[in-house]
Chain A
Amino acid sequence: MTAALMNEISRWAIPLLLVAIPTIAYLRGVRVYEAFVEGAQEGFQTAVKIIPFLVGMLVAISIFRASGAMNLLVYVLDPVIRLIGAPVEILPLALMRPLSGGGALGLAAELISTHGPDSLIGRMSSIMQGSTDTTFYVLTVYFGSVGIRQYRHALTLGLLADISGLVASIVLANWLFG
Chain B
Amino acid sequence: MRPPRILLVDDVDYSRQLLRNNIMALADAKLLKYQNFNFFNAGTAADANILFRLHQPDIIFLDIELPDHSGLELLAQFKQEKPACFVVMVSGASTLDNVTQSIKMGAATFIVKPFSGDKILAAIRLFEK
Whether A and B are associated in the same complex: the answer reads: no
Binding site for B on A (CB under 8 A): none
Binding site for A on B (CB under 8 A): none
